[in-house]
Structure formats: C-alpha cells, structure tokens
A and B are shown apart, each in its own frame.
Chain A
Amino acid sequence: MGPLIVNEIISQNTNLFLAFIIGIGFGFVLEANGFSSSRRLAGMFYGYDTTVLKVFFTAAIVGAVGLLFMSLFKWIDLSYIYINPTYLWSTLGGGVIMGAGFILGGYCPGTSFCAASIGKLDALAFIGGMFIGIFIFAEGYPLWENFYNAKFLGAPLLSDYFGASRGLLTFLIILVALGMFWVGEWAEKKFAREDYKLNQ
C-alpha cells in the first residue's frame, strides 16, 4: 500500500501535517537525549560521550529493519523510496566542511535549532554562521558548480555493491553498529573527563 503519498492514500496537505508532527517528535527526541548540549555533541569527537553515535545508529538500524519488514509484509514498495543521489566529490567536501563546523561550533544544523529553542545563545550564533555559509554557497555557486556536480554516481546501494541481499546487509550493519556501541562505551570510560558527567 505504501508509500502513502506516492499511492495517493493521503493528500499532500496531510503529508505536510504528518511531517510537522514527526518533526516535533524528532526535535523532542533530540532534546530528550541531550542533543541540545554542545558539550555532549562535541564529546563524540573526543570520545568522552558517544551518545550521538548510539542514537543515530540505533535510529538507522531500527529504520532499516522496519522498512524491510514492511516490505516483506507488502505494506510498502521499496522501489518508490527516494534515495538521495550521490555526487562523490561534493559529498566528501561537504562532509569535511560539516565535520569541521560540528567540532568548532558544537552543533549540527538540526541540533542547533533544538538548542536555540531552549534558549542557548551559542546555538543562535551557530545558526547565524550557518546562514552566512548558505549565503556564500548560493552567491558563489558558479565558482563551485563543477565541483558540486562532479562524479555523479546515481543512487548506489551498498547491497548492490557487495552483491548481498538487503536483509543480509542490514544484519551485518546491525552487528557493526552494536560493535561500535561497545567501542563507544569503552571510549567513554577511557577518555572520561572529570568535569563532565554522562547522564545515563
């Protein structure tokens, strides 16, 4: 039956309304997990707090398993799911810029709004910087247009690349994720800071 919007089971407006509800839920979960704290987010890079890794990877593997089961029960047609196309160089370049901003500012774009909504001033400064970046990117677009569109790979799937079924690949990713959680918690002990307390 799904996706609901493609198969016209719900209208565009209902879709936007559901997106609004889901967005609020997303913000709530981010805030509830302490993602509005730049110290917690930056902790990912120093190893003293790996909550970011755990939350996002848990979301990814639960989402992957959920989609595959829904496909198995014929609730959703996976061929309709939009997969973000890959432009290799701009993906790498964007990753580096995003990562550098993440370490420097202590937020990623979503969490900065999350933190601004509970009144954090450094988050407001981060959002200001983000808009400056957006402005520079948009106004200077002709300068990096070639780089931006270079090395287009379509929408490659890891499962196709390895020749494995989606289910098998998901299972392997679950194992890898759980392994990373284990390493993460080891790092939290190893790089623990006296002035920072994990709240879990």
Chain B
Amino acid sequence: MKARLILASTLIPLGLIIAAVPENTTKPYKLTADELLEEVKSGTQFIGPDQVADMVISKDRFLQLIDVRSAAEYEKFNLPNSINIPLVDILNTEWEGYINQDVKLNVFYSNGTNDANQAWMITRQLGYKNNYVLQGGLNYWAETVLNPEAPASTSPNEEILKYNLRKGAGMALGGEAAETAPSIDAPSAPKPPVQKRAAKKPVQGGC
C-alpha cells in the first residue's frame, strides 16, 4: 500500500511535467566544426556541371535541382525542372520535405557557389542527407555546358571528346551551341553523339 503511494506521488507529478512541456524536437548537431571543415576542404559537396547536365538530359528522376537565388532571378533564368528555394527561406518548414529526404539527389545552385554552399552547410549541419552543390554555379555552367569553348585542334583527344559532350548537352539544354554547328577540324577525334554514361557513378562523399 505504502509503496503504491510513494510510486504514485513520484510518477504522477513527473508525468504531469512531461505532459506539459513541449516535446523536444530539436535535432542535435550531427557534425563537429572539425568534421565540417574537413568536408569543406575536401569539397565532397560538389557535383560537376558535366554530371548534372548528363542527369538533366537523361531526365534522371532522382535529380532535384534547387535554385537558391531570389525568386526574381529564378524567374529570369533557371535550369530545367529546378525548384526555387531562396537561401533566406531555406529554414521555412514548407521546404523541409524537399531538403530533408533520402530519395532524391538535391543539387543547390546559385550564380557562383557562395549561396549554394551556404545552403548546403545549413542542411548538412541539420543532418540532412543527399544535398550537393553545383560546382562553379550557373556562371561555370554557362561557360562549360551552354557555351563551351572549343579546344584547339591540337588538344588531346579527351579534351575534344569532353567538348563534344558539352556541346551536345548545351544543345539539348538550349545553349548557344544549338544555333551553330561548327565543324571541328580534328580528324583524330571521332565525333561521338551525346551518350548517356553507361554506369552512373554514385556521388562521391557525403552520406
């Protein structure tokens, strides 16, 4: 009898307290500063524009491009099938379903890499997975994918092959290369059509 009274007088107040306080839903930080610095130094968060272009063209349904620039900039220009989550808005719970998931491969992009990197760092620290950054941002994208610079005809074959791939990607994605179809005088380099990479390498690093 007495034991029950002691039990009741201890557990009922504790139960009342735990029922009244809001649930602790904060997620603890997943990375120490050192670990984060290590990731930043090794650049595991970056995905090259070639790989992204390849995924866009092959309509990879696991790719989710996320434009972290302002809505106005997004209206002006955006990559195909991208969504707009302005950096200032990234913690809005409305977007949580997009950035905290483990199905798609999210690629943040901005004009350069600053804003996209900041978005990545925030989501990384929250412990979200599958978020990456478009290497070089839209500027580098325009340079490499939309308007690739033709290599000199004396360049090594790989360079020319890469250029052809990029040019094909640029055409598919509506770059300027679509307007002209320059012939390259590089007899040693056969001109391959845009081809999907047979085996897609999993993204290096990350989780």
Contacts and interface: CB of A to CB of B under 8 A. Distances in A.
Interface of A: 1, 58, 61-62, 65, 68-69, 71-72, 74, 77, 79, 165-168, 170-171, 174-175, 178, 181-182, 185
A171 B26 contact: no
Contacts of A79: 27
Interface stretch (B14-22, B48-56, B102-110, B129-137): B14-22
Contact of A171 (B1, B18, B22): B18
A167 B16 CA distance: 8
A30 to B, nearest CB: 17
B20 A174 contact: no
6 contacts: A1-B28, A68-B18, A77-B27, A165-B23, A167-B23, A170-B18
The A contact surface, by secondary structure, is helix
Contact of B23 (A65, A69, A166, A185): A166
A102 B19 CA distance: 35
A182 to B, nearest CB: 7
Given A72-B24, A178-B12, A65 B7 contact: no
The B contact surface, by secondary structure, is helix
B200 to A, nearest CB: 31
B21 A72 contact: yes
Interface of B: 1, 4, 7-8, 11-12, 14-16, 18-24, 26-28
B22 to A, nearest CB: 8
Contacts of A181: 4, 7
Given A69-B14, A185-B1, A178 B8 contact: yes
B34 to A, nearest CB: 15
